[in-house]
Structure 1
Amino acid sequence: MAILRKLLVSAAVVAAVGGVALWFLSAPDRLDAEAVGGLGDGDATRGEQVFWAGGCASCHAAPGATEDARLSLGGGLRLETGFGTFVAPNISQDPQDGIGMWTAEDLANAMMRGVSPGGSHYYPAFPYTSYARMQPADIADLSAFMKTLPAVAGTAPGHELSFPFNMRRSLGLWKLLYLNDAPAVALGNPSDQVARGQYLVEGPGHCGECHTPRDLIGGLELAQWMAGAAAAEGDGNVPNITPSDDGLGDWSDIDIVTLLETGFTPDYDSVGGSMASVVRNMAELPASDREAIAAYLKAIPPHPNGY
């Protein structure tokens, strides 16, 4: 019996130590002083371009919103996935229901670390694994622009998640595996144009969040970057956009630029679904940015379909 008691006590101690270790490992991790110092004052004019590149309106404006209504960010869009249903929150300038009281540092911690001002983890339906690659100054510019947008009253409904996905603290461990600011692909010594395209696609544009396959716990499989993936919502697949025969291999740069501006493919088909919203955002960018995105997509490694 004495041996059994010793074994039970030892097991309890190991479990307690392990639990404490997991608790500390899963703690929210905020930006360091150097990153916060890089925020700067922010410029609303530049921030508008970051807003469209980041696709903020696609999730946080009312579904189907057009023209100026795309700037009313009351949330409410439902994203139904295999992990549960995520609901886009109100990120308007309402001081109670939205983010009207947030500082640029608050926004940067949310976007680059997935951490709320109150110290909670955000779910990666909010694509902070891509936004982590952004420059802090761009987020300060975005914050300045968002301060010019209207306040929208009303709190969006909460997420609908079952156990264990409703345990936010566990996201800290998930982040240890998948959250970092390293490039998704190594391109050697890219031209300035390709480098700009890489920043837009891998960072604010978060294109890989839909176009790259995910593993069983929702992390992006970077070895198949942009190879296409099963749609997170419903049936169907998101297309391969690498320069392979399964993807954009026979598309020219001009074909890609045209799609990003107009939504039309080289076959005179048009995109639909969530991609239609992406095109509306991309059309707001300077032509040079769409050209940079096209140059990057032609420079990344080709892959067969990832779905």
Structure 2
Amino acid sequence: MNLTATSHRVPLNDGNSIPIIGLGTYLDPQTTSQETCLTAVKMAIDVGYRHIDGAYLYKNEHEVGQAIRDKITEGKVNRKDIFYCGKLWATFFEPEMVRPTLEKTLQELKLDYVDLYIIEMPMGLMPGKEFYPIDKNGKWLYHKVDLRDTWEALEACKDAGLVKSLGVSNFNRRQLELILNKPGLKHKPVCNQIECHPYFTQPKLLKFCQQHDIVVVAYSPLGTSRNPNWVNVSSPPLLEDAFLNSVAKKYNKTAAQIALRFNIQRGVIVIPKSFNPQRIKENFQIFDFSLTEEEMTSIEALNKNIRFVELLMWSDHPDYPFFDEY
């Protein structure tokens, strides 16, 4: 696969394609302004990013959409050049809620369609106005739903032209098989968005996905989020790894660029999140060198099976995905 800064799309199993690097846009509204997101997306498009990963949950799709539309108006890109991934949050899994939720994303973005729409996680939460529903005692309100019914509602959205491709996120093998073996399946998932980086290489899940022509999209590809609310901060910071830094020195690159290059050479899509102009540029500069087979093997050997994003607050959910081996 000959990837370049201007040509780095990977084919999907439905005939569409996905750029191998994207910009993650998750932000904490307490600490980051929406204006920051608008500026970052515009800059990313100028740098060469064509894949933007977002979600209704992030509450910034309005800004992301404006940035995309501004760049189209400027003549920098056409709509077909941009690949936007949106996500169906866990409180909207009831089949009749799927299309209205996707339509809200389209209204926020002011776009006619999204390129990819994924089930954000396999654990249903109680439908309602709250994204994070809890009872009066502070206990999570879970919701039992058959994900195959949710998937059928997504298939109808694809057939209606609201979305080009459908995928999932945080699904383990068993949960993927539930969809793949669904009677009357019309559209296979094109991707599974999961945590994946040199300390958590996910070899078994990656192999399973590849066998089923499902692309793996790596979130937290740099293992950098240290938000103690949902991240295991006791794990060692990936970007301080001595071996990654020694390889970085050899190529005159950063440890982050080595970690990203490692994944794209395995055919894994990366969506590093950054609102820092310098890092947005650096993260994209991964097409002018390649790692040797020996270096790839050595980086694979760094795997510690460390999951930074454990989602432990939902570990008692019947559909919690991370107890299975993969």
TM-score (norm 1): 0.28
Query: Which of structures 1 and 2 has the bigger CA Rg?
Result: 1
Structure with the higher fraction of residues in helix conformation: 1
TM-score, normalisation: structure 2: 0.27
